[in-house]
Structure 1
Amino acid sequence: MLEIESWTEHFIQVLRETFGERIWFAGLQGSRGRGEETEGSDIDLVVILDELTPGDIRTYDKMLDGLPDRELVCGFLSGKAELFKWEPSDLFQFYYDTRPIVGSLDELLERIDEEAVRRAVRLGVCNIYHGCIHNMLYDRQEEILKGLYKAASFVVQAICFLQTGKYTRKQKDLLDIAGKEEQNIVKTFLALKAGGKADLGEMSDRLLLWAQGWINRL
């Protein structure tokens, strides 16, 4: 199994050789950043340069091609100026789900106020509501439903942050602080993530009604 600490150490070495002092920030997101990875989990990288050009994107792509486990690599590449003008509701999850390796994202905190978090919840449940209906009517795919429950687990993180003022990184820890309805959403997501079978009918109904309830509550 890939050893993420040694992999990222090598990645940072190569990144510095490629971009030098232009690196403003580098970090790790997703399950590997939270210590919840499985063997096939993505390596979800964040790299922020002083500025970003089309040539930089091609250079970064070529650099990644020289790394082991290239097929697992995904993530976010940006210039610093663009990041600081990003939609604040997106920055909430971005900030709290990123484990810094080089630099710090703390300058973003002034843009992540309560309204930004509330907007993250609102947009999240609206997207889930629409996605559920579309899947129930047209796609009828288990993988789409699993993705919607994954998205819902992130919304639960934002809901719990609004309620407690604290961010809970690991989704299983949400079961200790979330409300009953949110616990059910997280339990279903964790069961699906562990390989459980998706019940398109019952699980879609439950997720739809949960999203509908929050839309009407906000």
Structure 2
Amino acid sequence: MPFDIYPWMNELIRQLQPVFKRRLQAVGLQGSFRRGEQTPSSDIDAVVVLDTLTAQDISLYKEILSHMPTTLTHPVCGFFGGKEDLKNWPRADLFQFMQDTHWLYGGLADVLPPPACEDARQAVQTAAGNIYHALVHTWVHGQLSADFLKLLGKSAFFMLQAAHYMRTGRYITTKWQLLQALSQPDEREILRFSLTPPPQEALPAAAARLLNVCQRLLAYCQRPSGN
């Protein structure tokens, strides 16, 4: 029987409520399950936000998760934290956090303003820099592999989501929709890395295209108003 994420999330909410009571501010879903792109081994990206977060809360949440009806093929990850901390969070991180979360209980609209173009610009800049560094470091000091390019392709997906928003004001949720919307052929190609990694013989050329995209986006973010 296929795994249904929403009964699982509803059960998580039922388990959280008697433990955290009014302190429970929001519960949501992110990632591949939220986008409808999950595989049989996808993680569950659950988002749980309390009023404030303590070390004891972390232990309590870990205990709740240990009793949740899940399987080894769907480990739970995601975000667990405090609303007061999120008020002080980097805007670049909050851009993806707010856009990618489907709230199933409560929400954070009362404390976090809607994402802005500047938030997307910072998200692109941060992601492009991180991908650039990881790619070059591994290329020089390690070994390029299809799995590594696929992992960077996943990060590139979030980078390209933010870049498309910065250019158009539209946030596109799924990889397939974004693939159709991107106008740059090399951006479409590196997005495909997250779906089907390149073969071994094509790795150097694929890595070069990923590097070029990161360089171009880093330069683009420096233009006044993203023009």
TM-score of the superposition, structure 1-length normalised?
0.92
Deviation at 1:106, TM superposition (A): 2.2
The Cα offsets for residues 107-134 of structure 1, whole Å up to 9 and x where unpaired, read as 3552632211101111111111111101
Match of 2:162 in 1: 158
Maintained 8 Å contact 1:157/1:168: yes
The Cα offsets for residues 23-43 of structure 1, whole Å up to 9 and x where unpaired, read as 100001100011111111001
Maintained 8 Å contact 1:48/1:78: yes
Deviation at 1:70, TM superposition (A): 6.1
Match of 1:78 in 2: 81
**d(CA) in 2 for partners of 1:108, 1:125:** 28
Residues 54-93 of structure 1 mapped to structure 2, 5 A cutoff: 54-69=55-70, 71=72, 72-93=75-96
Match of 2:130 in 1: 127
Deviation at 1:65, TM superposition (A): 0.6
Match of 2:193 in 1: 188
Residue identity over aligned pairs, in percent, reads 36
Distance 1:70 1:79, change over 3 A: farther
Maintained 8 Å contact 2:120/2:166: yes
Q: Secondary structure at the match of 2:46?
A: strand
1:203 aligns with 2:203: no
Match of 1:173 in 2: 177
Maintained 8 Å contact 1:121/1:159: yes
Deviation at 1:197, TM superposition (A): 4.1
Distance 1:109 1:62, change over 3 A: closer
Q: Any gaps of 5 or more consecutive residues in structure 1?
A: none
Maintained 8 Å contact 1:129/1:211: yes
Q: Secondary structure at the match of 1:96?
A: helix
Q: Secondary structure at the match of 1:190?
A: coil
Maintained 8 Å contact 2:153/2:192: no
TM-score of the superposition, structure 2-length normalised?
0.88
Larger displacement relative to structure 2 (94-103 or 133-142): 133-142
Decide which structure has greater helix share: 1
**d(CA) in 1 for partners of 2:111, 2:192:** 31
Letter in 2 for 1:159: A
Maintained 8 Å contact 1:172/1:190: no
Alpha-carbon RMSD: 1.7
Q: Secondary structure at the match of 2:113?
A: helix
Larger displacement relative to structure 2 (36-45 or 109-118): 109-118
Larger displacement relative to structure 2 (134-143 or 150-159): 134-143
Deviation at 1:15, TM superposition (A): 1.1
Deviation at 1:175, TM superposition (A): 2.0
Residues 13-92 of structure 1 mapped to structure 2, 5 A cutoff: 13-69=14-70, 71=72, 72-92=75-95
Q: Any gaps of 5 or more consecutive residues in structure 2?
A: 222-227
* Number of matched pairs: 215
The Cα offsets for residues 66-113 of structure 1, whole Å up to 9 and x where unpaired, read as 112264111111111001110001000000111111012323552632
